[in-house]
Amino acid sequence: MPYLPLLLFAAVYGFATLAWDLPFLVGLAYLAVSLGCFLAYAIDKSAARAGNWRTPEAWLLLLGLVGGWPGGLLAQQWLRHKTSKVSFQWKFHLSVAANIGLFVYLSRQLAVPAIA
């Protein structure tokens, strides 16, 4: 079930949008950072095949932590990159959980108050 975090996040994002009037720009930011993260994985995969300088894992994890993890997850699955390295995977999943937790916390704290 490699796509389960994406489905979970889609549900949480949908709830936050409906319940807390989440701004549209938040979704665009996630999309932009995810695209950048996907590209970073693709560049790293290409460099690995060519034997060139690699993107540090810390950068890939940081991109995921700041919201690019959906793109990172898709890149891992579609490009078959970083999927067998256990030490990277547990850090990646920890960063996904941290990002989702922070997303929920900030969405609630910055929610637009409902007008009664």
CB 70 within 8 A of CB 12: no
CB 47 within 8 A of CB 84: no
Look at residue 2 in the predicted model and tell me its pLDDT: 84
Is residue 26 very low, low, confident or very high in pLDDT (cuts 50, 70, 90)? very high
Residue 39 in any domain: the answer is yes
Residue 82 in any domain: the answer is yes
Separation of alpha carbons 45 and 76, rounded Å: 10
Residue 114 in any domain: the answer is no
Task: Spell out the residues 6+ positions from residue 39 whose beta carbon is closer than 8 angstroms to its own.
Answer: 71
Q: Is the dihedral of CA 66, 69, 70, 74 positive or negative?
A: positive
Is residue 23 very low, low, confident or very high in pLDDT (cuts 50, 70, 90)? confident
Residue 8 in any domain: the answer is yes
Mean pLDDT of 39-55: 96
Mean pLDDT of 87-115: 90
Q: What is the mean pLDDT of the chain?
A: 93
Task: Quote the tokens at residue 85.
Answer: 């390295």
Residue 30 in any domain: the answer is yes
Separation of alpha carbons 65 and 88, rounded Å: 13
- Inter-residue long-range contacts of 48-53, CB under 8 Å, 24+ positions, other chains counted: 48/81
Mean pLDDT of 7-30: 93
Residue 62 in any domain: the answer is yes
CB 36 within 8 A of CB 62: no
Domain of residue 99 covers 4-109
pTM: 0.90
Residue 101 in any domain: the answer is yes
pLDDT of 47 above 70: yes
Residue 36 in any domain: the answer is yes
Mean pLDDT of 51-71: 96
Report how many domains make up the chain.
1
